Amino acid sequence: MSKYTDYDFQPFLQNAISKLGFTEPTPIQKEMIPLILKGKSAIGQAHTGTGKTHSFLIPIVERIITGKTELQAIITSPTRELASQIFEELSKLTEGTDIQSKLFIGGTDKQRSIDKLKSQPHIVVGTPGRIRDLVKENALLVHTAPILVVDEADLAFDMGFIEDIDAFAGKMPDSLEMFVFSATIPERLQPFLKKYMESPVHINIGEKRPVAEGIVFNLVPVRSKSKKKRLVEVLNGINPYLAIIFANTRKNADDVANYLAEAGYRVGRIHGDLAPRERTRMMKQVRDLEYQYIVATDLAARGIDIQGVSHVINYELPEDLEFFIHRVGRTARAGLEGTAITLYEPTDEDAIIRIEKMGIPFVHVDVVDGEWSSLKERHTRKNRKKTTEDEIDAKAKSMVRKPKKVKPGYKRNMKWEMDKIKKRERRIKNRKK
């Protein structure tokens, strides 16, 4: 199908898709929508910003039978923010219909969640732990639901949620249709997949294009300056719509955010130490554009979809370099352009080289007093051709060896021999000219 109007969706769904401004399905949507409509279990491997959320929401909504007042689909996501965003998109598709959906996430009152389940919804979106709790309490009846979506499966595994999913997936129908979405499919995830999926279709989108098009990758040396001061210099050289600054730890994120706040920047922060209410409030403030800068840990690289990010700044390189791709994928979404700026020190050189091998085309730049300028490539010194004098030095060193038995003054004699060879070689080179 080349256009959404080519699909035989129900009229309300076509109208909702049109309202969202979707005309053509993205590659992951083209592949996954027909599979989910047919009920064929599948693995959708795609990087962030490829439209995977609607690749499962649209066909699931199409398949819901409103005449059955029972649970028909479960969608899990490893973070509260992502689950909330999925539910938000689902609500746009089902607005004004009889399709009932509920959101259940951690950090909220469990008893209130149980009270909401006096009648079973058609679709449940939530975090694995909370869904498991509700199933354990016999409040959520999953035995009727043939569809299970596991979004961000590799992150769910890293966060220890696969056991929670396993606990309630085992209570779902034997003919369970599972749809797994993940940027990567690590080997350690395979036992879980094999347990529930028999010969699934594996869709891999953009394998050779790890990052979105439209991103400029600027590499900025820290040099001898304080890294925080260097960061301020970078911020003075950009005027972002919204910039995310990534640090590796919660402590570093707080340190950077506090430093920027003292420097007069209105800056938000997102990391795992924030209480649920603080995170909810912070996300609302971000969406209301109260901040131009957000300091975040890698939770935001995978677990949060923030609209309108024009710049991503790597204050530190991630310890797991795969997260570099997830970080920069926060910008240049939905066909827009973006800039990814990476601060680096000499100790980062090996990591930078490995990232370049992942297909990242860094541009070496500097910023002084808010003005950007190009720098020579980092490898210029290594790659330069040897001069004539270099060649002469090398030849002299190769011809004069340290004696096995050294005597007083041997170093002076070696230098004298080398100088004699150098003079001779220079005369030979000059004659050839």
- Residue 241 has what DSSP assignment? S
List residues bridging with 338 in a β-sheet: 215
Out of 344, 359, 381, a domain closes at 381
Q: Are residues 176 and 256 in the same domain?
A: no
What number of residues does the chain have? 433
List residues bridging with 181 in a β-sheet: 44
Q: Are residues 405 and 291 in the same domain?
A: no
- Asked if 76 and 150 count as a contact pair (C-beta separation under 8 A), the reply is yes
Q: Are residues 372 and 401 in the same domain?
A: no
Is residue 122 one of the residues assigned to a domain?
Answer: yes
Of the candidates 302, 264, 268, 272, which has an alpha carbon nearest to the alpha carbon of residue 283?
268
- Asked if 392 and 245 count as a contact pair (C-beta separation under 8 A), the reply is no
Average pLDDT over residues 86-91: 95
Is residue 210 one of the residues assigned to a domain?
Answer: no
Instruction: Return the pLDDT at 381.
Output: 45
Q: Are residues 50 and 178 in the same domain?
A: yes
d(CA 27, CA 25): 7
Give the pLDDT confidence of 277-293 residue by residue, as tens digits: 787 788 889 888 899 99
Q: Are residues 274 and 130 in the same domain?
A: no
Give the pLDDT confidence of 290-332 residue by residue, as tens digits: 999 999 998 765 666 788 899 999 999 998 887 898 889 888 8
Q: Are residues 361 and 394 in the same domain?
A: no
Instruction: Return the pLDDT at 49.
Output: 67
- Asked if 157 and 188 count as a contact pair (C-beta separation under 8 A), the reply is yes
Average pLDDT over residues 201-216: 74
Radius of gyration of the chain from its Cα atoms, rounded to whole angstroms:
29
Higher pLDDT, 50 or 346: 346
114's CB contacts (< 8 A; 6+ apart) are 134, 137, 139
Q: b vs e for 71-106, b when ≥16 Cβ sit within 10 Å of the residue's Cβ?
A: bbbbbbbbbbbbbbbbbeebeebbeebebbbbbbbb
d(CA 430, CA 433): 5
Average pLDDT over residues 269-278: 79
Residue 187, CB-side half-sphere exposure with 13 Å CA sphere: 0
pTM: 0.66
Is residue 209 one of the residues assigned to a domain?
Answer: no
Of the candidates 125, 12, 4, which has an alpha carbon nearest to the alpha carbon of residue 76?
125
Q: b vs e for 303-334, b when ≥16 Cβ sit within 10 Å of the residue's Cβ?
A: bbbbeebbbbbbbbbbeeeebbbbbbbbbbbe
Q: Are residues 219 and 199 in the same domain?
A: no
In the predicted structure, residue 380 carries a pLDDT above the cut 70: no
Q: Are residues 22 and 168 in the same domain?
A: yes
- Going from the C-alpha of 283 to that of each of 41, 64, 239, 294, 305, the distances in angstroms are 34, 31, 21, 10, 10
9's CB contacts (< 8 A; 6+ apart) are 17, 58, 62
pLDDT band at 108 (very low <50, low <70, confident <90, very high): confident
For the stretch 91-100, contacts whose Cβ atoms lie closer than 8 Å and that sit 24 or more positions apart, written own/partner, are: 92/16, 92/19, 92/20, 93/13, 93/16, 93/17, 93/57, 93/58, 93/61, 94/16, 94/61, 94/123, 95/16, 96/12, 97/12, 97/66, 98/66, 99/61, 99/64, 99/66, 99/123
Q: Are residues 396 and 341 in the same domain?
A: no
The parent domain of residue 177 ranges over 4-204
Q: Are residues 168 and 269 in the same domain?
A: no
Q: How many CB atoms lie within 10 A of CB 265?
A: 16
Residue 355, CB-side half-sphere exposure with 13 Å CA sphere: 28
Strands 371-374 and 362-368 come out as antiparallel
CATH code assigned at 25: 3.40.50.300
For 57-66, 129-138, 210-219, 354-363, which range has the lowest pLDDT when averaged over its residues?
Answer: 210-219
Q: Are residues 372 and 236 in the same domain?
A: yes
Q: Are residues 375 and 399 in the same domain?
A: no
In the predicted structure, residue 388 carries a pLDDT above the cut 80: no
In order, the DSSP letters of 370-388 are TEEEE---TTHHHHSPPPH
d(CA 89, CA 149): 15
- Asked if 289 and 262 count as a contact pair (C-beta separation under 8 A), the reply is no
Number of domains in the chain: 3
Instruction: Return the pLDDT at 407.
Output: 67
Higher pLDDT, 188 or 89: 89
